[in-house]
Structure 1
C-alpha cells in the first residue's frame, strides 16, 4: 500500500478556515493570500480523495468526511505542538496563578491543563475560581497572572480565544420547563448568562421566576438535576443526565458568548507567558464548530 503524508501547514489552514468561518478571514489571520489557502484545501481534498466542503451559497459547510478530517486534524496538531513545546522550549520553572469561573475550570480547561503539565512539568499552576467581573479586576491589579473569563458588556481589553454557545438545559427527567412561570436557576445579577436568559424569555412572552441563584455552576446544576429549575450554561457543560431544551419547546435560541483571555500587565514571568500562549493556542484549536 502506498502511504501518503499530510502537511501540518495544510491541516493548520483547514482548522483556521473552520474557526474563522471563511477562507478570506482565515487568510487574514494566517497572513496568507486567499488563493494560497484555497489551493491548500484543494490539495488536501486531492490527497484524501474526498470532498471536505459543500457550498451553501457563500457559506462553506463540512461534509461528513470533512468533519472526520477536522476531528483528526485537531488531534494531530495538538500532539505535534505538544512535542515541539516539550522539545524546543527552555526548561521553564515557576509558579502561575490562573483565574477562571468554575464552569470553565470544570468543562473547558482540564484537558488543556493536562497537556500543559506534560509540556512544562516544572511550572506549577494555581487555579482560582471566581466570577468573571472580580477576576478581571484581580488580573488588572496583578493579584493573579492570567484570567479566562466571559466577556461582560462593560469589559475592555482581553483576547477573544473562543466562543461558547449558550443553551437551555435541565435534568433528563425534569418537567420544570413545563411550569408557568418558568423556574430558573441562574448566576447572580450582572452576569451575561443571566441577562440573555431573561431577555430571551421576555421577548418570547414567557413568564419566569428565580428558583435558584448561585455563584457556582454546581449549584445551578443541582437545581436542574433535581427538577427544581432549568438553567442556561455553555454547551460544554451539558453532561449525562441533562437535556437541552429547544425552540420548539418554547425556549428561544440563545447567542454565543466570547471567552476573553487576560494577562497581567507589566513584567510577567516566563512561566506566565508560557501558560498564556498555550491557553490562547489550544482554546482556539479546540473551538467547537
Structure 2
C-alpha cells in the first residue's frame, strides 16, 4: 500500500506534523490551508487510518500518524536522493561542515555515506570543535554549515532535533560517590560543561575537573574505566555506562537544542543538498524531534543500542 502513496501527500503530511498545524504547514509547502486539509484527508482515506487527532484549533499525531511519520521521512529522503542522483549525478564542489565531536561521531557517518552515494564528486571538509568555536568560524566565512548545540547565538539556525544531557558513570564502579566528584568534560567553552558545573554549584555539590578533552572518545574512556562522571548527550553513552539520578546527588540537566546554522553567503546547490541530508539524517537517527518528556527512558534505550 505504501508504494502507491503519492509523494506530495507524504510531503504535506510531514509538513503538518513538523509545523503542528495546517496554517504553518500550508506556508511550508506553498499551498492554501484548504488544499493541505484536503491532502491530509485524502491520505487518511488511502490508508484507512486517522493520522491526526483534532482538538479544537490544535492537532496532534494519532498513534497511526506516529507510526507513519518515520516511514514517510525515509520515503521522501530516498525520493530526493534518487532525483538528485539522476538530475545532478556529476555535481562537483566543496562544502565545509562543522560539528562537535560527539555529534560527528554518532550522526555524521551515515549522513556522509548517503550524501557520498548521491554526490560522489563533491568534496566535504569536516571540522570538529565545540559549538562555541564553530559558530564564530561560520561567521568568519570559514564554514558553510555548522551543527551546534543551542548557545543563545543571534543566529538560531534551524532546529533539527533535541539532545538530552545526562550524567554518565560506569555501572561497575562507584566513582560518583567520591567527594569532590571527578568529572570528565569537554574543553572550556563547551555548553555541556557549563551546564553541568553550574548545576553542581547550584546544589553545592563539590566537584573537580579530572579529565578534559575535545574528543568524545576520551570522555567515554574515562567513564568506562570508572575514573570520572561525565555530562554527555544521551546518544554518547558508552557500553557499560549508566545514568545517575537526582536521588544520587546529580541534578537533572537541560535538553540541548541541536541547530543547523548556515553561512548566508553559501548559496551553492552543493550546500543546499548537504543541508537537507544533515537535517533528515539527524531526524532519522533516533534523535528526538521534540523535547523528550522522559530522559531516563531515552537513556535506557540508548544504552541498549550501543
1:190-224 deviation per Cα after TM superposition (whole angstroms, max 9, x unaligned): 32112222333344554433232222212211111
Aligned pairs for 1:217-232 (under 5 A) are 217-232=216-231
Whether 1:162 aligns to 2:157 is no
Which structure 2 residues correspond to residues 40-55 of structure 1 after superposition, within 5 A?
A: 40-53=39-52
Which piece of structure 1 moves more, 75-84 or 174-183? 174-183
Q: What secondary structure does 1:196 align onto?
A: helix
CA contact under 8 A between 1:167 and 1:244: conserved in structure 2?
no
CA RMSD, 1 decimal: 3.3
Gaps (5+ residues) in structure 1? none
Q: Which moved more, 1:263-272 or 1:222-231?
A: 263-272
Please state how far the C-alpha of 1:230 moved relative to its aligned partner. Answer: 2.3
Count of matched residue pairs: 286
Distance of 2:184 and 2:271 partners within structure 1: 35
Cα drift, residue 82 of structure 1: 0.8
Structure 2 CA distance for partners of 1:212 and 1:113, relative to 1, 3 Å = same
* Partner residue in 2 for 1:87: 86
1:176 alignment partner in structure 2:
175
What residue in structure 1 maps to residue 303 of structure 2?
none
The alpha-carbon deviation at position 102 of structure 1 amounts to 1.3
Q: Report how far residue 106 of structure 1 moved.
A: 0.8
Shift of 1:125: 1.4
Contact 1:107–1:237 (CA<8 Å) still a contact in 2?
yes
Contact 1:160 1:258 in 2 (8 A): no
| Aligned partner of residue 243 in structure 1, secondary structure | strand
Aligned CA distance change for structure 1 residues 160 and 10 (closer, same or farther; 3 Å) = same
Secondary structure in structure 1 of the residue aligned to 2:45 = helix
Residue in 2 aligned with 1:242? 241
Q: What aligned pairs does 1:28-43 form with structure 2 within 5 A after superposition?
A: 28-34=27-33, 36-43=35-42
Q: Tell me the alpha carbon deviations over residues 45-77 of structure 1, each in whole angstroms, 9 at most, x when there is no partner.
A: 3332344455789573552x4333222222211
Counterpart in the other structure of 1:100:
99
The answer to whether the 8 A contact 2:160-2:260 is kept is no
1:130-209 equivalences under 5 Å are 130-153=129-152, 155-157=153-155, 159-168=157-166, 169-204=168-203, 206-209=205-208
Structure 1 residues 210 and 79, CA, compared in 2 at 3 Å: closer, same or farther?
same
Secondary structure of the 2:4 match is coil
- Matched residue SS, 2:120: coil
- Residue in 2 that maps onto 1:73: 72
TM-score by length of 2: 0.76
Q: Does the 8 Å contact 1:95/1:123 carry over to 2? A: yes
CA distance in 1, matches of 2:84, 2:133: 32
> 5+ unaligned residues in a row in structure 2: which ranges?
290-306
Q: Distance in 1 between matches of 2:238 and 2:51?
A: 30
Indicate conservation of the 8 Å contact 1:174/1:224, yes or no: no
